[in-house]
Structure 1
Amino acid sequence: MTHRPTTHDAHRDTTIDQDLALKAAAERLEDEFDGVVSEAAIEDHLHSSYDHFADHASVRNYLPLLAERYTRECLVQPCGVRTGIRLAAGRSVPCTDRWA
């Protein structure tokens, strides 16, 4: 993982554990999609996903995991890469650049 200025909202309310989990998730995704998707795009989508889930969550314990899985699913679709991640109940979630 390269060090670069963050492009996500730095003032959001996260715990140290969540920050570490997001960093670890970014590293895993960057390793998995190395040479396919830029690190900046991965981190931006990961943090955007986290922020979206955080806006609607009453329990925040698993938000980094949800954001990682959602980001992976969105990256898999356009790349044609298969990782075996399935959404609950066979539903598909559209991946967009912007949240509605």
Structure 2
Amino acid sequence: MMSEHSLRFKCFSDPENVLQKWLKAQNIIDVQVHSGEGEEVYFEIKKYKPHGMVQPAVLFVKPDMSVLAKWVQIPTKENFHGAKDRKPFPDIWAEAKAKM
């Protein structure tokens, strides 16, 4: 991904959603995973099988793992399964800065 997009920062991939599961188990943030099972889906989700597609989320934590701010997209039919009505990043960043 880094070379394909000429990125100057490291990227990490987690196709099995290990981080999502750990964050949920630690009660830090419950990042939603869209499986596409049992519902009408407006996009190709089969490529994300068997682990599903992680929905957008933002998490700011301090080194001691205390949460400064967090936001999770909850997929619904009204927001086109997470494709719209996302909280603006500057609003989440403002929440984090206010707690620093």
TM-score above 0.5: no
Q: Which has the higher strand share?
A: 2
Computing the radius of gyration over CA atoms, which structure comes out larger, 1 or 2? Answer: 2
Q: Which has the higher helix share?
A: 1
